Structure 1
Amino acid sequence: MSTRPPPESGADDSRTASPRAQPAARAAARNQRPIRIGPYRLPRMTTKPAVSLVAVAGRRRATLDLARTLEDEGFTGIYCPSPGDGMALCEALALATREIPLGTSIAHIYTRHVFEWAQTAAVIHELSGGRFRFGVGVSHAPAHARLGLQPGKPLADMRTFVTELKGYAPQVGALPPITLATLRKKMVALAGEIAEGAVWANAARSHMAESLRHLPADKRSDPAFFVGDMVPVAIDDDRAAAAAVMRRVLTSYVKLPNYQNYWIEAGYEVEMKAVRAAVARGDDDAVRAAMSDRWLSDVTLFGSAKDVRDGVEAWRAAGVKTVILVPSSTRGGQMLAFEELIAAFR
């Protein structure tokens, strides 16, 4: 017997709804059905994921238009990485949108004086009506070298940064909640100690429970403590084409020693040893070939719209409260990727 409730008296179902209402009706029906992933039967959540958004030069006003569309479509957050000045984009988003949560994910702590970060964070916090979350991280050695930076120890530097940032509150005004960019266990533990959230990028879903174990139990259960992951995604019924895009997107990340060490910790030693050998030879094709299907499926989402929707639920089931999709397209650039993403979650 079906457990789906009948329509309320006088209400039309999707067969009689207007054309404009039909997509919403179909989405509502789909959201009532559980999903199956391997042996698991998971309840389907009705909330849409969050997204990662970059303001590309020459299309910054169009990016704000896209942000308003994402808000109207019911996506649950917009998080901006450092390329294109994510902090500046968040300031614009604070004024261009009304209700959607927003934040940096992440801002590179070494590129500005901490007082400058504090001032801007306080401004965005106030202008957004408290919707802004300040995500910060230490980035990676290639970025430091490119900018001529000489950072210290990541954990000590991050602790100092957060302490100094919060110390400026009497001068700059109320500050937003702080999220730390985390990957391995020591930074996760530090986030639980000094911050109001932790965000990963390109994490392994199978390893997430182990990573979250390094947060205090009260933080794991606190709905106000942010737990997010930025998940690369490509939507295409041609799974091979979508997988190829994901391998290209992840090529620069697998070359980074800190990521290699994390993925080894997550159970991908064979893949990372092959990556290191390929990097030593300067062979990017071999780097991509070393990314196994198992690894790619654990770190990214790719395939049909249903595959991606189901994958979002799997990430939530793994303990990630805020799934931040980072879309790429097999057919075009960022704007087309977002068109595909919006359509997939209607």
Structure 2
Amino acid sequence: MRHVSIAGVQTLGAPLALDVAREAGDLRYGAIWAAEANAAEALSLLGAVSQVAPTAGVGTGVLALQLRTPPLHAMAAATLQQLVGDERDVFLGIGISSPAVAGQWHGAGYGDRPIAQVREFVALVRECLSGESVTFEGDFYRVSRFRLGLRLGERKPKIVVAALNEQMLRLAGEVADGVLLNYLPASAVPWCVEQVRKGGDAQVFAFVHCAVTDRDRYAELARRDLLNYAVVDAYAKQFARAGYADDVAAFRERWSARDRDGALAAIGDRWVDEVQIMGDASHVRAAVQAYADAGVDSPIVFALPWGEDRRATLSDTLRALA
């Protein structure tokens, strides 16, 4: 079943994000995901989403695990599970955020052992969601006699780990209920699924960045968006492995020389078209299906508000893919 992310519109305000979530619920998308960085905060927004889209599950895609304690993550997920009830899923999507977001924007440490930290984090959140008394002594977290004060039914929140590269993909397969892929073409999915399966049988989700809109008119917006991720080492590695190695090398050279225009120009058309999917409804529909065909269990429609009428573009995209 396809899901929807409202992350692409959260910077435009919580009311618009809720309106899009309401429409996604009316169209019977399976779950609605929200992110956070420096705009709408995900958990309070999803609490509202749970009320305006009463048939959809909710998911965080993703929370920077450096910004909240594991018990607080468990409390948040349990709260959302109570709000949506036992008939709907809650996906607690977490990941290691970038040094810029975690360190510079929020004043939290980035850390130097991300694999070990995620492993420990997931283990502790699971214990906290159990309802039992939890005392935990780890390398990153220490908890004494925490007990979740909310009672959950049979359905529990599912832990989803955001992963880009080999070690994190394998870890997600081993310890999580799901793995979340992002900013990759459908052609790169099989390799990612192979890594996940070396760890275990986690469900595979993937953001599919797309819009029913004029590709030529908004390709430059797509390049600027990709630039924000290509400067991050982990994403640059993923992009290179996905088939854009020459573009990535040229981009990094120009970026290191502080040539922003040259760096943007290095992001080639194929990179744009395969990762930021734009075109008519049939083109976008086929592209999203390609992710499912490649091994994604639940594609997440990351609707891009790139159109002369942003709200109409979002609606056109959601309706085309419902």
Give the deviation of 1:219 after TM superposition. 4.8
Question: Over residues 23-42 of structure 1, what are the superposed CA-to-partner deviations in whole Å (9 max), with x where a residue is unaligned?
Answer: xxxxxxxxxxxxxxxxxxxx
Cα deviation 1:302-338 (Å, max 9, x = unaligned): 1122110110111111111221122224434753431
The share of aligned pairs that are identical, in percent, is 26
Tell whether 2:125 aligns with 1:165.
yes
Offset of residue 59 of structure 1: 4.3
Per the alignment, in what secondary structure is the counterpart of residue 282 of structure 1? coil
The answer to whether the Cα contact below 8 Å between 2:210 and 2:304 also exists between their aligned partners in 1 is yes
**Equivalent-residue separation in structure 2 for 1:58 and 1:306 (angstroms):** 27
Cα distance in 2 for partners of 1:214, 1:145 equals 29
Q: What residue in structure 2 maps to residue 207 of structure 1? A: 188
- The answer to whether 1:134 aligns with 2:92 is yes
**SS in structure 1 opposite 2:236?**
helix
Whether 1:52 aligns to 2:28 is no
2:41 paired residue among 85, 88, 106: 85
Over aligned residues, Cα RMSD in angstroms? Answer: 2.2
Contact kept, 8 Å, 1:202 with 1:299, in 2: the verdict is: yes
1:116 aligns with 2:75: no
| TM-score, length of structure 1 as denominator length | 0.78
Residues 182-204 of structure 1, C-alpha deviation per residue, up to 9 Å, x if partnerless? 11111111111111000011023
Deviation, 1:113, is: 1.6
Q: Secondary structure of the equivalent of 1:213? A: helix
- In 2 relative to 1, CA 229–334 (structure 1 residues): closer, same or farther, beyond 3 Å? farther
- Amino acid paired to 2:210: V
What's the counterpart of residue 108 of structure 2? 149
Q: Give the counterpart of 1:70 among 20, 24, 36.
A: 24
User: Which consecutive residues of structure 2, in runs of 5 or more, have no partner in the other structure?
Assistant: 132-146
> Which residue pairs with 1:103 in the alignment?
59
The answer to whether the 8 Å contact 1:208/1:318 transfers is yes
Distance in 2 of aligned mates of 1:292 and 1:241: 15
For 2:210, which of 227, 233, 244 is the aligned residue?
233
Gapped regions of structure 1 (runs ≥ 5)? 1-46
Q: How many residues align?
A: 294
What is aligned with 1:184?
Answer: 165
Question: What does residue 302 of structure 1 align with?
Answer: 278
The two structures have a TM-score, normalised by structure 2, of 0.84
Separation in structure 2 between the aligned mates of residue 148 and residue 119 of structure 1, nearest angstrom: 23
Q: Relative to structure 1, is the Cα distance of residues 276 and 235 closer, same or farther in structure 2, using a 3 angstrom cutoff?
A: same
User: What corresponds to 1:339 in structure 2?
Assistant: 315
Which residue of structure 2 aligns with residue 17 of structure 1?
none
Give the C-alpha shift of residue 112 in structure 1. Answer: 1.2
How far off its partner does 1:127 sit? 1.5
Structure 1 61/330 Cα, relative in aligned 2: closer, same or farther at 3 Å?
closer
The aligned amino acid for 1:150 is G
1-side partners of 2:28 and 2:127: how far apart?
36
Distance 2:287 2:317 in 1: 13
SS for the counterpart of 2:51 is helix
Q: Which letter does structure 2 place at the counterpart of 1:183?
A: L
Q: 1:260: which partner in 2?
A: 236
Tell me by how many angstroms 1:181 deviates: 0.2
Show the counterpart of 1:42: none
Q: Given the superposition, is the C-alpha separation of residues 259 and 50 from structure 1 closer, same or farther in structure 2, using an over 3 Å criterion?
A: same
1:144 is matched by which residue type in structure 2? A
User: How far is the alpha carbon of 1:260 from its aligned partner?
Assistant: 0.7
